[in-house]
Amino acid sequence: MARKAVPIDLMLIKGNKHLTKKEIEQRKAAEEALRMRDENIEPPEWLDEVAKQEFNRLVELLKEVRLITEADIHLLATYCDAYSDYVKCTKLIQEEGLMVEYTNKAAETNKVPHPLLTKKKQLFEQMKAVASEFGLSPSARAKLAMPKKEEKEPTPEEKLFGDV
């Protein structure tokens, strides 16, 4: 599996081990060309208070590193909505316990895992998918800015034998 792309500035901080100056400049230009407006980023009205707080917290963090734009509002809102539901599930599980009593049709009472544990896992997967799939993580956004390899004319040997 290929490594996730990271923004060029983060790569330079960690230490550039393989990019030339020309490749670094190409990456910077590509990342800058992908920038969109980020002036009017407000949480949608349909978010509850917990989700709005998370939305505003993340917007501040993402603005600092220039990783959010107006195009990301509803994607981030979806993440924050799932986060709010995740918090609610967690609180209910803490109140009721990991195991709950269940009475089956035969009137037998058993201890079973809390049904919200499954919902909590689904919400986590939803948050994870939104964060990475739609460019809300630095590596996902940097992947969009990767420069394309330049096409060069094959040599006479490559024409005859391929890229051996």
Q: What is the pLDDT of residues 64-97, one digit of tens each?
A: 777 778 888 998 999 999 999 999 999 999 999 9
- Note whether residue 154 is domain-resident: no
- Note whether residue 163 is domain-resident: no
Return all residues near 138 (Cβ < 8 A) that are at least 6 apart: 6, 7, 10, 65, 67
Confidence label for 48 from pLDDT (cuts 50, 70 and 90): very high
Domain span at residue 60 reads: 8-146
Give the pLDDT score at 143.
65
pLDDT tens for 115-150 read 999 999 999 999 988 877 655 667 766 765 565 555
* Residue 117: both structure tokens together: 């544990």
- Note whether residue 160 is domain-resident: no
Give the pLDDT score at 94.
95
- Note whether residue 156 is domain-resident: no
Q: Percentage of the chain with pLDDT > 70?
A: 80
- Note whether residue 30 is domain-resident: yes
- Note whether residue 151 is domain-resident: no
Confidence label for 3 from pLDDT (cuts 50, 70 and 90): low
Q: Output DSSP code: residue 66.
A: T
Give the pLDDT score at 156.
77
Residue 43 has pLDDT above 70, yes or no: yes
Enter the pTM of the model.
Answer: 0.64
Q: Which residues of 112-146 are buried (b: 16+ CB within 10 A; e: fewer)?
A: eebebeebbeebeebbeebbeebbbbbebbbbebe
Nearest 5°: phi and psi at 145? -95, 0
CA distance 52 to 84: 9
SS3 110: strand
Handedness of CA 138, 139, 140, 141 (dihedral sign): positive
- Note whether residue 36 is domain-resident: yes
Confidence label for 39 from pLDDT (cuts 50, 70 and 90): confident
Provide the domain count of the chain. 1
- Note whether residue 155 is domain-resident: no
Residue 62 vs residue 56, higher pLDDT: 56
